[in-house]
Amino acid sequence: MTGTAIPWIAAGVGVSVAVASAPATLPVTASVSLVLPLLASAIALATPLLLAALGELVTERAGVLNIGMEGLVLTGAFAGMLGCHASGSPLVGMVAACAAAAAVGALFALWVVVLDADQVVAGAAVNLLALGMTGVAYRSFFGMTGAALTVATFAPLRIGPDLPVLAPLRQPAPVYVALALVPIVWLLLFRTRFGLRLRAAGEAPDAAESLGVHVGALRWAAILVGALLAGAAGGYLALAYSNTFVEGMSAGRGFIALAIVVFGRWRPLGVLAGALVFGVANALQFQLQAAGIIVPYHLLLMLPYVLTLVVLALASRASAAPAALGQRRSSNAASD
Amino acid sequence: MIPQPPDSTAPPGVDAESAAISWVRAAAPAVAAIAALTVSAAVVFAAGGNPAVALGALASGAVGDRFALVDTLVKACPLVLTGLAVALAFRSGVWNIGAEGQLLVGALAATAVGEASGTLPSPLPLLLALAAGALAGALWAAIPAALLVARNVSEVIGTIMLNFVAVRLVGWAVHGPLLESGARYPQSDPLLPAALLPLVAGRLHAGVPIAAALALVVWAVLFHTAIGFRWRALGQNPRAARAAGFSPARTLVSAMLASGGLAGLAGAVEVLGVTGRLFEQFSGGQGYTAIAVALLARLHPLGVAVAALFFGALAAGSGSMQRAAGVSAVLVAIVQAATILALLALESPRLALTHRAPAPANGKTT
């Protein structure tokens, strides 16, 4: 079994378990009426995970582990809401989301690239910083009650004739942008000079540097692109998935993105598969709840995380991770 | 890897530069804490609040009277234990980001055992519940340790994933097997008094002196026992550890077991000393705050006690700050983040404030 096949098999198992378990407990007609909403909901839930995971993929390919993605998603959600609230335009909100997350990403890059600080610790600080900043800013803008504020959102696209079967395709534009980013990120990483250099910075930074590759500049670029995508994930949450901001609304999605990248073996298509598995698992939980079916949904919610660990454990020991992932430059130089 | 602890010896040849370096190194935690409070005051100002009022309310809520002081100690208690857990793991070169999950399963196990054994003779339910919490935390940490050693799965990912699993596990337990008799809220029944930690003074429970004593124990183990030496050696250089004749894998697993046990005990102490029952959203992120605690302590067990007091005081004072100055209590997260970032900057090899610039790579043998 090749390493790249594992996520696909796991994805297949995850989706079939999800689809199979609905009819098992329901009459056939009810299950048909559940599958389409399930699919629509799964795509909607997978999109922010896909965006954040693609961002983390680019970052990690350059050798930087950013566990601060959670904070960047949260920053994006807040800035997106704020931008849309101020301008009335979800598009402006989305730009604000990306810009704000990139600004916080620049702070992370300043620490891990320029100061050569430990990536895990700096990432943890970014998460705390975003949690605090968005919380304080939200309360100061919108009052201590933190009353929910609704903003304009991206409308679902009207695709094809008005058939129920096409309903899962009627998603807001950012969903399609996220899907289009899968081949774009693949092209960027594997078919451009920039991508080659970026991956070299992640596999063998010292060797790459000696060949004239500017590792620091590439890592800056990778972190900023990753932060931009995390911001888009947050913007999507506030401006397409819901129409408001809630404190802590990233709800662990930035951490799940880390798992999806490992799950997807550091490849864009694998990341897409991983995002869909998590999307289906989450959607299934909501659908079962909505249908009033009593299942231990907490246990169901556990599945994606457990599945990730099982997949990682089964994957070949020769890791697909970039060789220099998470390492500090100076500790490389200092080790014998 | 990790910020170099103060006892890691500088190269021989003490000179003026070394003296300046050790001075900066000693002052770094205080500088970082002051920088963090300054940043927070600026944030309060930017958010339209009055920094003096906010910080004054924060201080009086933390140390203003006897009640506030007790609150600070009670809030510091789980941070001492989780901070020790993180410091021990980081010292050993293992990235245990999972103190949060280990705390949660510790609280879960302590609740389950405390309820099951509540009618036994008096010290037994408490001791069993504390032991169950520590054991559950250790076993929870053993999973990512085993995955790392046997299958080369990054412990950063492993521990983070298990944090989420632990949150769901607690959610399932309080909706299912541990749901209270009346089934009104998703929470467990209150524990019987025999399972609870005795109160020392007011709300001050016996877990606080236990945590303080454990800081001493961890210090003694880390610096005065063979296993402690192995943990530190592993953290400094895994290859040297192997060359010194002990198994890095076994050392790593034992470090994670000890770390998870401490975090699990933190959860048990919170249930048995503060809340008296388990509920959803049980942890207020003490497992993540622990990272800031451990770093501010420069990974030193005795420093952890001091750093936990600092963050415990912030947690205790943040409520009155929110009431008095209209600034969200979540400001505390900014203080934590700014403390970590300031320390990372002070320790940066590029700035070479607290240690010598890294040796040029021409001495490499490989």
ipTM of this predicted complex?
0.86
Q: B91 pLDDT exceeds 50?
A: yes
Chain B CB contacts of A138 under 8 Å are 328
Question: CB within 8 A of B183, min separation 6: which ones?
Answer: none
Closest Cα to residue A65, out of A272, A268, A327? A327
Closest Cα to residue B306, out of B212, B232, B219? B212
What is the rounded CA–CA span in Å between residue B134 and residue B154? 24
Q: B190 pLDDT exceeds 80?
A: yes
Identity of the amino acid at A246: V
What is the rounded CA–CA span in Å between residue B147 and residue B161? 12
Per-residue tokens: B158: 């492993």
Closest Cα to residue B49, out of B337, B334, B316? B334
Task: Provide the pLDDT for residue A316.
Answer: 55
Looking from the CA of B2 toward its CB, the CA atoms found within 13 Å total 28
Helix axes B99-116, B155-175, angle to 10 degrees: 30
What is the rounded CA–CA span in Å between residue B9 and residue A42? 55
Q: Do B157 and A331 touch (CB under 8 A)?
A: no
Task: Provide the pLDDT for residue A335.
Answer: 35
Q: Do B175 and A139 touch (CB under 8 A)?
A: no
Query: Among A54-63, A204-213, B238-247, B252-261, which is the least confidently predicted range?
Result: B238-247
Chain B CB contacts of A313 under 8 Å are 147, 150-151, 153
Task: Provide the pLDDT for residue A3.
Answer: 44
Query: Which residue of B lies nearest to A253 if distances are taken between CA atoms?
Result: B164
Phi-psi sector, A146: left (phi>0), alpha (psi -120 to 50), beta: left
What is the rounded CA–CA span in Å between residue A203 and residue A209? 11
Closest Cα to residue B61, out of B338, B337, B336, B323? B323
Q: Tell me if chain B has a CB within 8 Å of the CB of A301.
A: yes
Q: Do A255 and B295 touch (CB under 8 A)?
A: no
What is the rounded CA–CA span in Å between residue A308 and residue B157? 9
Task: Provide the pLDDT for residue B10.
Answer: 45
A298, A307, A328: best to mutate for the B interface, most B CBs within 10 A: A298
Q: Do A132 and B333 touch (CB under 8 A)?
A: yes
What is the rounded CA–CA span in Å between residue B347 and residue B84? 21
Question: CB within 8 A of A221, min separation 6: which ones?
Answer: A62, A194, A198
Task: Provide the pLDDT for residue B352.
Answer: 64
State which of A19-23, B9-13, B65-69 shows the largest mean pLDDT.
B65-69
Q: Tell me if chain B has a CB within 8 Å of the CB of A140.
A: yes
Q: Where are the domains of chain A?
A: 5-23+31-143+173-317
DSSP A156: B
Q: B21 pLDDT exceeds 80?
A: no
Question: CB within 8 A of A185, min separation 6: which ones?
Answer: A54, A57, A58, A268
pLDDT < 50: residue spans in chain A: 1-7, 13, 15-26, 332-336
Helix axes A28-61, A69-87, angle to 10 degrees: 110
What is the rounded CA–CA span in Å between residue A197 and residue A199? 5
What is the rounded CA–CA span in Å between residue A130 and residue A145? 20
Q: Tell me if chain B has a CB within 8 Å of the CB of A331.
A: yes
Q: How many A/B residue pairs have CB atoms within 8 Å?
A: 181
Q: Tell me whether residue B88 is exposed, middle or buried, using C-beta atoms within 10 angstroms of its C-beta: 0 to 12, 13 to 18, 19 or more.
A: buried
Query: Which residue of B lies nearest to A143 if distances are taken between CA atoms?
Result: B326
Q: Tell me whether residue A161 is exposed, middle or buried, using C-beta atoms within 10 angstroms of its C-beta: 0 to 12, 13 to 18, 19 or more.
A: exposed
Q: Do B97 and A67 touch (CB under 8 A)?
A: yes
Per-residue tokens: B140: 């929870």
Chain A CB contacts of B327 under 8 Å are 136, 139-140
Residue pLDDT, tens place only, A227-258: 999 999 999 999 999 888 988 888 889 988 99
- Report the first-to-last Cα separation within chain A, whole angstroms: 36
DSSP string across A92-152: HHHHHHHHHHHHHHHHHHIIIIIS---HHHHHHHHHHHHHHHHHHHHHHHHTTTT------
Per-residue tokens: B228: 């402690």
Q: Tell me whether residue A148 is exposed, middle or buried, using C-beta atoms within 10 angstroms of its C-beta: 0 to 12, 13 to 18, 19 or more.
A: exposed
Q: Quick one: what percent of chain B has pLDDT higher than 70?
A: 91
What is the rounded CA–CA span in Å between residue A238 and residue A227? 17
Shortest alpha-carbon distance between residue A308 and chain B (Å) = 8
3-state secondary structure chain B: CCCCCCCCCCCCCCCHHHHHHHHHHHHHHHHHHHHHHHHHHHHHHHCCCCHHHHHHHHHHHHHCCHHHHHHHHHHHHHHHHHHHHHHHHHHCCCCCCCHHHHHHHHHHHHHHHHHHCCCCCCHHHHHHHHHHHHHHHHHHHHHHHHHHHHHCCCHHHHHHHHHHHHHHHHHHHHHCCCCCCCCCCCECCCCCHHHCCCEEECCEECHHHHHHHHHHHHHHHHHHCHHHHHHHHHHHCHHHHHHCCCCHHHHHHHHHHHHHHHHHHHHHHHHHHHHCCCECCCCCCHHHHHHHHHHHCCCCHHHHHHHHHHHHHHHHHHHHHHHHHCCCCCHHHHHHHHHHHHHHHHCCCCCCCCCCCCCCHHHCCC
Per-residue tokens: B209: 């002196």
Helix axes B286-296, B16-46, angle to 10 degrees: 140
Q: Is CATH 1.10.10 the classification given to domain B27-349?
A: no
User: Looking at chain A from residue 16 to 55, which residues have their Cβ under 8 Å from any Cβ of chain B?
Assistant: none
Task: Provide the pLDDT for residue A164.
Answer: 73
Task: Provide the pLDDT for residue A173.
Answer: 92
Q: Do A330 and B350 touch (CB under 8 A)?
A: yes
CB-nearest partner of B147 from A117, A302, A309: A309
Across chain B, mean pLDDT equals: 87
- Please name every residue paired with B205 in a beta bridge, in sequence order, or none if there are none: B199
Q: B359 pLDDT exceeds 50?
A: no
Task: Provide the pLDDT for residue B3.
Answer: 47
Closest Cα to residue A133, out of A96, A104, A98? A104
Chain B CB contacts of A120 under 8 Å are 95, 97, 156
Q: Do B161 and A259 touch (CB under 8 A)?
A: yes
Q: B364 pLDDT exceeds 60?
A: no
Task: Provide the pLDDT for residue A81.
Answer: 94
Q: Tell me if chain B has a CB within 8 Å of the CB of A209.
A: no
What is the rounded CA–CA span in Å between residue B159 and residue B157? 6
Q: Do B338 and A129 touch (CB under 8 A)?
A: yes
What is the rounded CA–CA span in Å between residue A130 and residue A250? 11
Question: CB within 8 A of B136, min separation 6: which ones?
Answer: B102, B105, B106, B108, B109, B110, B264
How many CB atoms are closer than 10 A to CB A60? 22
Task: Provide the pLDDT for residue A19.
Answer: 46
Q: Is A293 helix (H, G, I), strand (E, B) or coil?
A: coil
Task: Provide the pLDDT for residue A29.
Answer: 56
Chain A CB contacts of B238 under 8 Å are none
Chain A CB contacts of B360 under 8 Å are 333
Radius of gyration of chain A, Cα coordinates, nearest whole angstrom: 20
Mean pLDDT of the B84-109 span: 96
Q: Residue written as tokens 């877990």?
A: B207
CB-nearest partner of A111 from B288, B341, B349: B341
CB-nearest partner of B328 from A118, A126, A136: A136
Task: Provide the pLDDT for residue B105.
Answer: 98
Please name the CATH architecture into which domain A5-23+31-143+173-317 falls.
Orthogonal Bundle (1.10)
Query: Which residue of B lies nearest to A127 if distances are taken between CA atoms?
Result: B337
Chain B CB contacts of A299 under 8 Å are 168, 172
Q: Do B157 and A262 touch (CB under 8 A)?
A: yes
Task: Provide the pLDDT for residue B362.
Answer: 40
Query: Which residue of A lies nearest to B160 if distances are taken between CA atoms?
Result: A255
Q: Tell me if chain B has a CB within 8 Å of the CB of A117.
A: yes
Q: Tell me if chain B has a CB within 8 Å of the CB of A128.
A: yes
Task: Provide the pLDDT for residue B152.
Answer: 85
